[in-house]
Structure 1
């Protein structure tokens, strides 16, 4: 099983992914590590990424997800996955990028789920202002909220409220894992 931990920047994807990885013993892939250098430089300058900027990054993450899925491994992947199209690219790769209207009707793979970390702008902005050493500027948070398309019911998503503790969220994930066992 693969969980893609998604949400706007500053919602806690990396922290929760690291925590969950330690508890479940699953490998954790930090999505930020797969960004091309140009994307990192652009975000560091305070410029929001475009869909075109994100495409190579999403395709790299798709390769990681597919490799883990094909091997039958369990894994965690952090990726903002703000739009339905981005989530479709993560699941279906270049097929979704080339024909987004066709792929928008594809359902998620039964062994891939999204963990949607959600919270309000004020809380997440406070977290971003307080964090150290990250290239993503707090000024870009508004642009992320503006393009955010929360996952719909047909996208295999589990919504997790970031006001809860990591332990409470992990218990929800464990309950989800148990619900999928035959």
Structure 2
């Protein structure tokens, strides 16, 4: 049976995956209770694991270096407790070639979008992303067989891809839960869980 991660681990991990988010965004990332998330964030702030900042009208939380280390320690301990390290490492190995394809597709999309003289980069790139979404699904199933916190990446990616035909911001936009955002978070999730670098 898949292991559900503890809420306090998920709060720190959500901050890492989001990079910068308000309390509501942190809670929403893993469907946590907002009031308890606020308490967990205040505790983490007292330990020096997260910090609050405000700029350009935005307020939110981000991890400190100590928080990053604490998050990685918690993830490592969870992997070992569940006995999922080898399985997650194997998924990461299978993810890497797919990540190369996704990175190339996102770059092609962004470069084509910036060139006003070029046609919109739709057909080929969208077809590549559809294939990537298809290949992502079994990788996620392998991960969620051990840890429930890995769930949702395929749904987010495929959902954003479906919306891209109406609005291309859903491919690489940072202001929405785009394909690129979901993909970036999955990559960060894997490397954080395994304690490796990109």
Structure 1 and Structure 2 fold alike (TM over 0.5)? no
Larger RCO (alpha carbons 8 Å, 6+ apart): 1
What is the TM-score when the length of structure 1 is the normalising length?
0.29
Q: Decide which structure has greater strand share.
A: 1
Q: TM-score, normalised by structure 2?
A: 0.28
**Structure with more of its chain in helix, by fraction:** 2
